[in-house]
Every structure is written in C-alpha cells, then in structure tokens.
Amino acid sequence: MKKLKTYYLHLRHPTTMERKWIFPLAIGSIVSLFLLFLTTLTSPDGTPLLPLYRYYSSYSAAANVFVESKLKPLPISAVPPPPRFAYLISGSAGDGNMTKRTLQALYHPNNQYVVHLDAESSPEERLDLRNYVTNHPIFNKFKNVRMITKANLVTYRGPTMVANTLHAAAILLKEGGEWDWFINLSASDYPLVTQDDLLHTFSYLPRDLNFIDHTSKIGWKEFQRAKPIIIDPGLYMTKKADVFWITQRRSVPTAFKLFTGSAWMALSRPFIDFCVWGWDNLPRTVLMYYANFISSPEGYFHTVVCNAQEFRNTTVNSDLHFISWDNPPKQHPHYLTLDDMQRMVDSNAPFARKFPREDPVLDKIDSELLFRGKGMLVPGGWCVGSRKNGTDPCSVTGNITVLRPTAGAKRLEKLIGSLLSNENFRSNQCI
Ligand SMILES: *[C@@H]1O[C@H](CO)[C@@H](O)[C@H](O)[C@H]1NC(C)=O
Ligand SMILES: *[C@@H]1O[C@H](CO)[C@@H](O)[C@H](O)[C@H]1NC(C)=O
Ligand SMILES: *[C@@H]1O[C@H](CO)[C@@H](O)[C@H](O)[C@H]1NC(C)=O
Ligand SMILES: *[C@@H]1O[C@H](CO)[C@@H](O)[C@H](O)[C@H]1NC(C)=O
Ligand SMILES: *[C@@H]1O[C@H](CO)[C@@H](O)[C@H](O)[C@H]1NC(C)=O
C-alpha cells in the first residue's frame, strides 16, 4: 500500500528521494510484502480474517515508530485515517428503486450522500424515495443521507446537468461536514468494490488528487461541439424540452484551452471549493461559456482543472469506471449484463455503468463482490450484527472507523498503482 503513496511523492518531489530514504523504504516494502501476504489469508466469503488484520495494523505501526526514532521521520504514518467520500446519486423518472439500491450498495456511515430525482420523475416516486431516506433506521442514526426535495429540471447533454452537479456539491460543502472526494454517480451506475475497499485504498492517497478522464485532442468535437451554440430551455422553462441549436457558430476559445472527457469523476475537496466558491474567476467564466455548449458535463470540470495552474498537477487521467463503448463510441454505452461480469472484475475499476434496472448481473455483483444481501446495506467493518435468519449485519453498528477490506481492495490497489506509475501519471496530465 505504501507503494501508492511513494509513487506520488516521488513524482511530486523527485529531488527529495535521496539515499537516506532507501533504508526506511526497504523496511516499508518488507513490511508491506508481509502484510500483503497476511491479507491474502481470507475467509471463504472473501472477508479478511479480522484478528490478522488488527495484528497487521499494529505491527506496521510499531515498525514505523522504530524506523522514525532512528532516522528522519517518514512523511507517511503507517495507518492513515480513512478518508470520507461525498456522493451524489441522481436519477430521473422510474429510477427511484435503482437509486435506493445504488445507495445501499454505496453506503458507509462515515460518508455523505445526496440523492436527487429530477423534475421528470413523478411526485409519488420522489415522495417514496424521500420516505425511504427519512425512515431508514441507519440513515437516521448517522444523518448522512439527504435528498434534494425541490427537484431540478435536468436536460441530458445540457448545462442544467452541470448546474445540478454543482448544486449537490454546494449542499455537501454546506451541510456535509468533513469529506475528501466528491463522486458523481447516476442510478444506472453500480460499485464493483465495497466501501471498505475504497476507503482503505484511498486512505493511502494524497487527498488532493482529482480522478478525471480528459484530453485536449478534441478532434471532431471541435466542429460538432465547440463551434455550435445551443440553448438549454431547462434553464428557464418549467417543462422539460430538448436543447436547441442557434444557426450562428462561434470560434474556439483563446482565453483558455478546451478539454473533454468522461462525465464521471472523483474530485478533491480543494477543487470543489475552487469551483463552487469562485474566488478565482476561471470556474465562473468557464461555466458561463459552457452554458451554450452541447454535452457540457463532458467538458466543464476538465477545462477548469487543466487551465488552473494550481490543480493541473493533481489530475489522474481516469474516471474509475468500467464502461463498455462501441468502437468508435456512440452516444450511449452498451448495457452491461452477466456476460460482462469477468471483464468488469478484470478491469479493477471500482464502479461500472450502465446497468439495466434490476438486471441479474447486479445480483451477482451483490453476492460475489459486495457480499450484500437483498435490500441490505453493503457490509463493512462497522457492521457487527449477525447474518442469521437473513438479518442485515449492518443493523447493529460497531466502531465506524474500523475497515474490513475484501479482495476488491487488492484489485483497486492494482488499478491505482498503475494510474500513479511513472509511465502513466505525469505523462497523462492535461495533454
Ligand atoms: C419499486 O419497488 C417496489 C417493491 O419493492 C414495487 O412495488 C414498485 O412497483 C417498484 N417501482 C417501480 C417503478 O418499479
Ligand atoms: C454527473 O452525473 C450524472 C449522472 O446523473 C451525469 O449524467 C453527469 O453528466 C455527471 N457529470 C457532470 C459533470 O455533471
Ligand atoms: C506542476 O508540474 C510542473 C512539471 O512537473 C512544474 O514545473 C510546476 O511547477 C508544477 N506546478 C505546481 C503548481 O506545482
Ligand atoms: C431464526 O428463525 C427461526 C425460525 O424461523 C427461529 O426459531 C429463531 O428464533 C430465529 N433466530 C433468530 C436469532 O432470530
Ligand atoms: C475505533 O477503532 C479505532 C481503530 O480502528 C480506534 O483507534 C478507536 O479507539 C476505536 N473507537 C472506539 C470507540 O472503540
């Protein structure tokens, strides 16, 4: 695990990696290898054996103290505190049940959640989701799930989608307390790892990294996206209507460089602060520019992050998703089914899309990757209830900072290790 952080530190301060680091690093690697060996000892359902895991943590902490007393302090503590994620899960008409299911699969008491069903969904459906959120005993206990009850009108491909994302981010900044990454998902996304896997792996990462798939090679998009001017009626009408095109075209901006990429991302708290507070004018100018841009969710954050000097070095060029595109890509990705299961696992990605509602592949993911029973929350170290008689182990809560990662953490570590490797990390930033 320490490997992950050293990749980043090395790339960030190459000159500080002198000989004096070799000894602590070697010790660290030996310890990590030993730990890796311990974590491979898992019970049949894939959950690591807890006593070993505890032993592992205290062992490595002790090793680190020993190293620190003799040499310069290590910049990283052995068991960094787990991060917190802030999720937006949004859907439209008919997505109510899937929004609940995705929320259950992503739940952890230390995270923050905003759910939103847009104005196309019926009031009954929104009320049903609201009742679910307000009456759930665990959500009630931790008060970390909220619903945007005054639904926004969201036009797919239009700037109202970006406005909705910024709205949720602003709510999370105001009411969500401490969190480290903002993750934007829809009701047709689903996780492929448990929250403990994600929290465990991300606890070793610098908190300022922004996971965003992007490129400046806009190619055909220059003519079909950057030059046309669109209007999104969702900004000023009460009924939904598709975007429309203005006959006049505009030239490509010279005040900033355009970037484009996937609409799915995990953005750092400092970057969300930068975008929402707007003390620098860049996020605001770019937002106004994107108000007339088709498919603005695939460009707004990408253009801001790469044009801001203080953030471009924090980008990791990935959307952390498994998405199955046609070649060449069409507007919509393939729906994922049971046939895609192996490819999803092999991708090591923590999330996948897009899933048909209540597809059997989701049941397989629940049982094989998330160890989650129907209608229950995804289990983690904080769930200490019994599994007997089909009761939800998470109905009894233990210490919520205890993480119990599963095999998913190893897959995720592989992905992050490759994204932060010398070959991939710096060379793919804002290119
Ligand atoms: C949502 O699920 C409930 C049962 O859990 C079912 O009665 C209802 O019809 C579902 N709604 C939709 C829109 O599928
Ligand atoms: C955020 O999530 C939604 C899914 O509801 C997606 O369609 C949208 O494009 C995402 N990205 C942004 C930047 O809003
Ligand atoms: C970003 O990285 C480049 C190249 O490594 C470096 O020259 C620049 O100073 C860095 N910028 C910031 C703000 O750290
Ligand atoms: C489990 O169910 C059985 C019969 O359905 C019942 O006799 C038993 O008391 C239940 N156990 C618990 C722990 O609820
Ligand atoms: C919870 O667990 C952490 C270690 O994971 C420990 O430091 C803390 O003291 C525990 N809290 C309680 C209330 O037991």
pLDDT in tens, the chain (431 residues): 556 666 656 555 544 444 444 444 444 554 454 444 444 444 444 444 333 333 233 333 333 433 333 444 444 446 678 999 999 999 999 999 999 999 999 999 999 999 999 999 999 999 999 999 999 999 999 999 999 999 999 988 899 999 999 999 999 999 999 999 999 999 999 999 999 999 999 999 999 999 999 999 988 888 888 999 999 999 999 888 889 999 999 999 999 999 999 999 999 999 999 999 999 999 999 999 999 999 999 999 999 999 999 999 999 999 999 999 877 777 788 999 999 999 999 999 999 999 999 999 999 999 999 999 999 999 999 999 998 888 899 999 999 999 999 999 999 999 999 999 999 999 999 99
Query: Which ligand is the nearest neighbour of the Cα of 94?
Result: 1
Written as six digits, the tokens of 322 are 């498994």
Does residue 105 lie in a domain region? Answer: yes
Q: Angle 407-419/195-202 helices, nearest 10 degrees?
A: 40
389, burial (CB in 10 Å: exposed 0-12, middle 13-18, buried 19+): exposed
Task: Outline where 332-378 has alpha helix (H).
Answer: 341-346, 360-365
Distances (CA, A) of 414 to 5, 149, 190, 243, 277: 13, 39, 20, 41, 35
Task: Outline where 121-258 has alpha helix (H).
Answer: 123-135, 137-142, 159-175, 195-202, 220-221
User: What is the CB neighbour count within 10 angstroms for residue 186?
Assistant: 19
CA angle 178, 51, 389 (to 5 degrees): 85
Residue 65 Cα to ligand 3 midpoint, Å, equals 32
Residues 6 or more apart whose Cβ sits within 8 Å of residue 157 = 243, 294, 295, 296, 297
Written as six digits, the tokens of 179 are 């969190």
Written as six digits, the tokens of 412 are 């995720």
CA 261 to chain centre: 15
Domain that holds residue 316: 83-426
Does residue 211 lie in a domain region? Answer: yes
CA 242 to chain centre: 29
Helix H or strand E encompassing 323: strand 321-323
CA 263 to chain centre: 12
Ligand 4, atom 3, lies closest to the CA of: 389
Does residue 22 lie in a domain region? Answer: no
C-beta of residue 203 within 8 angstroms of C-beta of residue 80: yes
pLDDT of residue 354: 93
pLDDT of residue 222: 83
389 C-beta closer than 6 A to ligand 4: yes
pTM metric for this prediction: 0.84
pLDDT of residue 44: 40
Report the alpha-carbon distance of residue 234 to residue 238 in Å, rounded: 7
Does residue 290 lie in a domain region? Answer: yes
Residue 296 Cα to ligand 2 midpoint, Å, equals 10
Show the 3-state SS of 146-163: EECCCCCCCCCCCHHHHH
Does residue 298 lie in a domain region? Answer: yes
Does residue 28 lie in a domain region? Answer: no
Query: Closest ligand 5 atom to the C-alpha of 399?
Result: 1
Does residue 155 lie in a domain region? Answer: yes
Check which CATH number belongs to the domain holding 229 and give it.
3.90.550
Q: Which residues on neighbouring strands pair with residue 333, listed in sequence order?
A: none
Structural domain count, the chain: 1
Ligand 3, atom 4, lies closest to the CA of: 313
Does residue 246 lie in a domain region? Answer: yes
